[in-house]
Amino acid sequence: MSIKVLVDKCYGCKVCVPSCPFGIIEVIDKKAVIKDGCNLCGACVSTCKFNAIEIVRDTKTTIDKSLYNGVWVFAESREGKLANVAYELLGEGRKLADQLGEPLVAILLGDNIESEASKLIAHGADKVFVAEAPELKYFLEDTYTQVIVDLVNKEKPNIILMGATAIGRSLAPKIAARLETGLTADCTNLDVDVAEKNLLQTRPAFGGNLMATILCPNHRPQMATVRPKVFKPLAFDAARNGEIVKVDLSKMTWDLRVKILEVVNEVGNSVNLEEANIIVAGGRGLCDPKNFAMVEELAAVLGGAVGASRAAVDAGWIPYSHQVGQTGKTVGPKVYFACGIHGAIQHMAGMQSSDIIIAINKNPDAPIFKIATYGIVGDVREILPLLTKEFKKALGVA
């Protein structure tokens, strides 16, 4: 792509000059001049009242897109069991596939994992490719990439979706590089241009201050990773019919650069915010790291997980593993308690899909109240003990 000034339309009004975030536009001899360093953001294009600046896009098609068909979902699993993000992706993938009139396909890798395939069909898949081998028991970038790339080259899907988890964020870039296609990471919304069969991939940009919609018009497959808990899974339907296809790996020569010798489970309480149904999260409004004990107590009473804002994590009050938000984890519990959290846009981007949001803040104008289902205006240090006491009484907890 390139940008150019249409000199016959430019009047040298200088309106475009302050619109450039990089300060590389000047008016010389009553004509706008764009210097080197433009990143094609388009700010000057929308500012110009005379349509004198335009971005020239390369529309060259490098492949025959008609050869590519189907929406694929990587069905992530852990210890032989499907991760929730697989169901979430199937829910959104079903919508995209129906809009395009294409099949929804799941890819399941592991060892002795075929029993999980029927669950993927019950949650929306039309077909499931099952690849089983001892080399696939544990996730390794090399082996998983090898199997998926071979399958993609053979079947030619139009779209591939993966979870923006530790596994998905590691696997997706390697697959995209092997396939020489694009990848949009950490998407929060997906849609399709049915006419062109382009995937519209929306993700936060510039620190969450704007949302960018990204296309991959000239390459296939189109790939995106999606944050967990952004989309809702479809209801389980045991009556759904689908096809389970076993991938023949008997002739596979494995490209193994590393080998897993032992898996050591973490000792102590693990934090799994992405799977929690109830999250009690604390922010700087707690005023003191010692007051996180009140958040932890309420979470324990309700059987929930402890979350935190970035401000609390940056202050060293609680480990990063508890952070919710754009730079932390995206969650979507049934109930989310925001305790002393002001509501920065980056934090709200990571929890606004929660079914019920209960906000506690002494500032009635705090942004968190704009998305809260219920709001309590007051000092969180006084309200939390009262809530905990009432929940204990209601639940019969001593």
193 domain-assigned: yes
> Distance between CA atoms of 45 and 52, rounded to whole angstroms?
8
Please state whether beta strands 278-282 and 305-308 pair in parallel, antiparallel, or not at all (unpaired): parallel
Torsion over CA: 84, 86, 90, 93 (sign): positive
pLDDT, position 60: 60
> Are 88 and 236 members of one domain?
yes
Distance of CA 383 to the CA centre of its chain: 33
Domains: count for the chain: 3
Range of the domain at 20: 2-56
pLDDT 10s digits, 360-395: 999 999 999 999 999 999 999 999 999 999 999 988
Residues 90-117 as b/e (b if ≥16 CB within 10 A, e otherwise) read: bbbbbbbbeebebbbbbbbbbeebeebb
264 domain-assigned: no
pLDDT, position 230: 81
Which CATH number characterizes residue 101's domain?
3.40.50.620
pLDDT, position 1: 74
Give CA separation, 356 vs 190, 338, 353, 366, in Å.
Answer: 23, 11, 9, 18
The pair of three-digit structure tokens given for residue 48, joined into one six-digit string:
């110009």
Which CATH number characterizes residue 7's domain?
3.30.70.20
Which CATH number characterizes residue 280's domain?
3.40.50.1220
> Are 30 and 71 members of one domain?
no
> Are 96 and 239 members of one domain?
yes
152 domain-assigned: yes
pLDDT, position 369: 95
State the Cα torsion 169-175-178-179 to the nearest 10°: -120
pLDDT, position 326: 78
The backbone torsions φ and ψ at residue 377, rounded to the nearest 5 degrees and listed phi first, read -95, 115
Distance of CA 373 to the CA centre of its chain: 23
Q: Which of 246, 264, 289 is the last residue of a domain?
A: 246
Cis peptide upstream of residue 221 (ω within 30 degrees of 0)? yes
pLDDT along the chain (398 residues), means of 10: 89 92 91 89 90 80 83 92 92 95 96 92 95 91 94 96 90 95 91 92 73 89 89 90 93 86 66 84 93 94 93 92 86 92 89 90 94 94 94 85
